[in-house]
Amino acid sequence: MRTTKGIAVSPGVSIAPAFIFTDDSAEIPQYHITVAEVEAELARFREASLLAKKEIETLRDRAKKEAGEEQAAIFDAHLMMLEDPDLLEQIEHSLNDNLFNVESAILSFETEMVDKLSSSADPLIQERVSDVHDVVRRILRHLLKKERISLSDIDTEIILVAKDLMPSDMVGMSRSKVRGIVTESGGRTSHAAILARAFEIPAVLGVGPDFVDQIKPGQPVYVDGEKGIVVVDPDDVFIQKERIARLARIQREKEDKELRDVPAQTKDGTRISLVANIEMPDEVANVIEYGAEGIGLFRSEFLFLGGHVPGEEEQCREYTRVVQAMQGKSVTIRTLDIGGDKVLPELGAVGEKNPLLGWRAIRFCLEKTELFKTQLRAILRASVHGKVKIMFPMISTIDELIRAQGLLAEAKWECKTHGHSIDPNIETGIMIEVPSAAICADVLSRSCDFFSIGTNDLSQYTLAVDRGNQKVAYLNEPYNTAVLRLIRMTIGYGEHAHIDVSLCGEMAADPASAVLLVGMGLRTLSMSASAIPAVKRALRSITIEEASAIAHQALSMHSSSQVSALLTSKLSL
């Protein structure tokens, strides 16, 4: 039995025989050509590109039908690459300059693009390497008249093991037979991860090099897409434990369903609103399934991850889809938060020396005003279909908030000018994720309707810790005294100004932390939909007086370890 840790990207657990999926591309021929043969090689390239384009269009339509618009956008990026005139120009120059066959020219293009993307400090840019591989391999297969092994022919249940998976592999595979996915490369924002979540297949990516070479076809493989654990050849003891755990999960899922329509309130009747965080419209089904009272954080970046900049109509359509699905429950849409670890070159956001302290979120939007107002108009137009709130990310000064509100006013006027109905009383709020915003929350409260505390960023900015840096990640403690004090300070300023305060960071999803936060005064918590039943169960086990006493004691402590020990001793969750 061998256990490997990877990146948990799609929840669920499964065990099945391994199916090793390797790149079966034939050896690519390389040979000299004459000047007279250049045009014929270009003609071959154009024909192969056209065939590849038709295939990708078919895959895009299938992805749109079976997974959703955002998943289909992956293939829009592939089409943009194929249709880019620079690609043809680069191939033509390579043929004329080097006088090697077109397959060789394409490989040179691939190497150059992969090197450029891989050298980026941004994980999102690095993960576009798979897009380049997918498009290049597709063109080469048509040039060589070869077909890649199809995953659509799988007729038994398997765990799919590969070095990497192309988006086209994911869309074309027999999903009813693929019980889990393990790859050597990739992360949470890779296309394989996005599609695995959309298809509800447990997946662990990024298990590291040489994993595939150590697996034999048919070997039993256990995948835990929640913990990021892969076990090869699990022994009888492990399998028995997993069977017991599976029965416990089934029982817990049954209990969770029974909790769906039960109010989230303390033992003495204090109501707490539990709402959900989502990244994509398709997640609304889970939001409804787990009984969320609304959406507290709708990350709008999903529309911009397909390699193109969406227009007002496309954005309005997607926001409206979510708002209508929630049937009158509140939907808080956070405006575009890119930069930092989400660098998108097509929007002009490029790598910076200190990206987390740089041109990101509201700072980016206040400079890209037309892009920002396009999004604001789309949200405003969607607001007539339900209850919508607008939230600005990473506000650090009152000047930023005033400028954002000014652009919102312009967007409202533009909507009315073009005859679009909007909610005239739409609420606007801000993310409290920068220490300056928490310290000056009393000033900021005069220019907005609500606060939402983002503890993920608030913690890393307060403690000067890059949470993505493994060398210092251990310092990023949400129970740190400074972080807890800033949370309590924000709640107090919100109470004084009579505006709503919620929290949408990872702390909200932890039952013990949720009790602490409610004791500190919060009455709205936003989290992943699947975390709602456990948090609801914890809140229903205590009184508000008990929670307040725990919070009072925690705020008087000097270390995060003391707070953690306190919660463990007081709560049997």
Cα distance between residue 560 and residue 474, in whole Å: 11
Helix (H) or strand (E) holding 181: strand 178-183
Angstrom distance (rounded) from CA 456 to CA 478:
8
Could you tell me whether strands 427-432 and 450-453 are parallel, antiparallel, or unpaired per DSSP bridges?
A: parallel
Q: Edge to edge, what strands does the sheet with 220-224 contain?
A: 2-5, 229-232, 220-224, 13-21, 158-162, 178-183, 203-205, 7-10
3-state secondary structure of 434: coil
Helix (H, G, I), strand (E, B) or coil at 562: helix
> Which of 192, 283, 156, 171 has its CA nearest to residue 6?
192
The residue type found at 460 is Q
- Comparing CA positions, the residue from 206, 252, 197, 179 lying closest to residue 528 is 197
CA distance 362 to 336: 8
Lookup: tokens for 360: 């990101």
Apex 507 CA angle, 502 and 511, nearest 5? 100
Q: Report the alpha-carbon distance of residue 51 to residue 33 in Å, rounded.
A: 24
Judged on CB neighbours under 10 Å (0-12, 13-18, 19+), 297 is: buried
Active site residue 415: no
Distance of CA 389 to the CA centre of its chain: 21
CA atoms within 13 A on the CB side of 140: 24
Any idea how long the chain is?
573
Query: Rounded CA gap, 464 and 458, in Å?
Result: 10
Cα angle for residues 373, 378, 384 (degrees, 5° grid)? 130
What DSSP string runs through 83-120?
H-HHHHHHHHHHHHHH-B-HHHHHHHHHHHHHHHHHT-
DSSP 8-state code for residue 442: H
SS (H, E, C) 225-288: CCCCEEEECCCHHHHHHHHHHHHHHHHHHHHHHHHCCCCCECCCCCECEEEEEECCHHHHHHHH
What 3-state class would DSSP assign to 34?
coil
Pull the structure tokens for residue 140: 């080469």
Out of 78, 191, 365, 448, the active site residue is 191
Told to judge if 316 belongs to the known catalytic residues of this protein, a careful annotator would answer no
Q: Which stretches of 119-190 are DSSP H helices?
A: 123-126, 129-144, 167-172
Catalytic option among 316, 365, 448, 504: 504
Phi, psi of 503 (to 5 degrees): -135, 130
Catalytic residues: 191, 504
